[in-house]
Amino acid sequence: MVGIIMGSDSDLPIMQEAIDVLESMDIQIEVDIVSAHRTPEKLFDYSKNAHTRGIKVIIAGAGGAAHLPGMVASMSPLPVIGVPVKSRNSIDGWDSVLSILQMPGGVPVATVALDGAKNAGILAAQIIGASDKCVLDKIIAFKEGLKLKVEKASERVRK
């Protein structure tokens, strides 16, 4: 249901957080490396055909110039969530953030924080949960868990 792609295998440690979130909610995923600059034909094929394989949301992580999320969004009818990844050749990650965030009108990319793949996974689950009650219930339980975690921490530190 969710396609998770990244520009390089060096992005996998960050993107693993999205994988983990979605797997914890029993949401089917496919994971692949699709480079906007090194494999443009694969990028075109993936973007134009993901919906025909049952993908409902695409999470695209990329560092540096970070063209992957925007290029996918330009060709796919699906919602795209961009994850800016701070890479070794990055300018503190700002190049990635701005490349994904500053999309032209008509080509939206939902953008999470730098290295924010966990939130990308949660957002993808919420999008799917809008039309899937089972996933929605898991999101509700997840949010309740966040609340309980804060309440327990508050009890520990309160004086």
CATH number reported for the structural domain that contains residue 50 in this entry: 3.40.50.1970
Q: What is the pTM assigned to this prediction?
A: 0.95
Structural domain containing residue 111: 2-158
State both tokens at 33. 């490396």
38 is in an annotated binding site: yes
Closest CA to 66 of 25, 115, 130: 115
Q: Per-residue pLDDT averaged across 8-26, rounded? A: 97
DSSP reduced 3-state for 23: helix
d(CA 111, CA 116): 9
Average pLDDT over the chain reads 96
Q: What is the pLDDT of residues 27-44, one digit of tens each?
A: 999 999 999 999 999 999
Q: Per-residue pLDDT averaged across 143-149, rounded? A: 97
32 is in an annotated binding site: no
24 is in an annotated binding site: no
Lowest mean pLDDT among 18-27, 38-47, 59-68, 136-145: 59-68
Number of domains in the chain: 1
Please say if the pLDDT value at position 6 is more than 90. yes
Instruction: Please state, in angstroms and as integers, the Cα–Cα distance from residue 64 to each residue in 22, 114, 116, following that order.
Output: 26, 12, 15
Of 88 and 125, the one with more pLDDT? 125
- 121 contact partners, CB below 8 Å, separation of at least 6: 2, 17, 18, 19, 20, 21, 22, 59
DSSP reduced 3-state for 93: coil
d(CA 131, CA 134): 9
